[in-house]
């Protein structure tokens, strides 16, 4: 896949406005996403994250502003933008009746790619689904389903992937199984724009984090830059209590099959 200008940012958003009747959801949104990076868009329910993703993926027209994706303008070059991206939303495209392998082969065939079986094998291996490949997707856990969904969206090697709340609805263990998959994508050069309401997800995954609030990006920076916004708190004595997530993972074992040992004090 070529881009209009390879040295431009993967995504450039300038002055986007979008209203639904008199509800002004986006009031002038600006940001850029560097190629091969993970950019997290953080915002509460109703902040406009999905609206923004729909505009970036050409599913929704904007009222004002400009957006280029892979160097192509979303309004002028929608076809080129669509060829450059894949989108996975909250509702997975996985067909329950088919096996994991069949789901992948089907998408590869729909995209007229040669060697669909080889593509499916490769993706099953990359997403740790080889053993489960011959089972109907209806038997998959939430984490496995989401990994299959992301694998399906990668068929055809789009340079840019949009993940709208990739781990919403998953339990903590399944969530942290999805994170390395996303990290690996970026390491291999794919640009990832994800939305999340989970602060720890942005903290673990993102190279840059932008906070969308009341229609604008109120902060945009690396985790270190965002942390500098608040002064460090001085404390004389700290007893670190385990978080609920620590307790949960200690009891059920983490994704690597190890049970976390925590010394009782």
Ligand X SMILES: Nc1ncnc2c1ncn2[C@@H]1O[C@H](COP(=O)(O)OP(=O)(O)OP(=O)(O)O)[C@@H](O)[C@H]1O
57 near ligand X, rule: CB under 6 A: no
Nearer to ligand X among residue 49 and residue 175 (C-beta): 49
Min dist CB 184 to Mg ion, Å, is 25
Nearer to ligand X among residue 41 and residue 85 (C-beta): 41
56 near ligand X, rule: CB under 6 A: no
Q: Work out what residue 20 binds among ligand X, Mg ion, none; the CB cut-off runs from 5 to 8 Å by kind.
A: ligand X
Q: Work out what residue 47 binds among ligand X, Mg ion, none; the CB cut-off runs from 5 to 8 Å by kind.
A: ligand X
Min dist CB 188 to ligand X, Å, is 27
- Following CA atoms 12, 188, 82, 222 in sequence, which dihedral angle do they give, to the nearest 10 degrees? -30
**Member of 13, 33, 49, 155 binding ligand X (CB under 6 A):** 49
51 near Mg ion, rule: CB under 5 A: no
201 near ligand X, rule: CB under 6 A: no
70 near Mg ion, rule: CB under 5 A: no
Nearer to ligand X among residue 27 and residue 204 (C-beta): 27
47 near ligand X, rule: CB under 6 A: yes
**Member of 3, 50, 57, 68 binding Mg ion (CB under 5 A):** 50
Residues that bind ligand X (CB under 6 A): 20, 23, 25, 43, 45-51, 197
Residues that bind Mg ion (CB under 5 A): 49-50
């Amino acid at each position: 896949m070529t881009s209009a200008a390879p040295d431009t940012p993967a995504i450039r958003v300038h002055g986007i406005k979008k209203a639904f009747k008199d509800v002004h959801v986006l009031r002038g949104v600006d940001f850029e996403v560097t190629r091969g990076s993970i950019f997290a868009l953080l915002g509460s329910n109703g902040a406009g994250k999905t609206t923004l993703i729909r505009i970036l993926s050409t599913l929704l027209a904007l009222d004002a502003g400009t957006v280029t994706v892979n160097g192509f303008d979303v309004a002028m070059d929608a076809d080129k933008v669509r060829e450059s991206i894949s989108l996975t939303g909250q509702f997975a495209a996985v067909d329950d009746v088919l096996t994991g392998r069949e789901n992948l082969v089907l998408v590869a065939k729909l995209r007229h790619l040669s060697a669909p079986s080889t593509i499916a094998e490769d993706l099953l291996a990359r997403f740790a689904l080889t053993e489960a490949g011959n089972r109907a997707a209806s038997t998959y856990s939430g984490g496995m389903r989401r990994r299959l969904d992301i694998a399906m969206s990668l068929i055809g090697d789009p340079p840019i992937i949009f993940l709208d709340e990739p781990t919403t609805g998953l339990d903590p263990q399944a969530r942290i199984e999805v994170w390395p998959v996303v990290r690996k994508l970026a390491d291999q050069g794919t640009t990832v724009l994800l939305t999340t309401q989970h602060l720890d997800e942005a903290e673990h995954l993102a190279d840059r984090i932008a906070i969308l609030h009341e229609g604008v990006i109120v902060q945009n920076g690396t985790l270190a830059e965002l942390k500098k916004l608040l002064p460090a708190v001085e404390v004389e004595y700290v007893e670190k209590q385990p978080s609920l997530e620590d307790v949960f993972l200690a009891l059920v074992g983490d994704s690597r099959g190890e049970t976390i040992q925590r010394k009782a004090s």
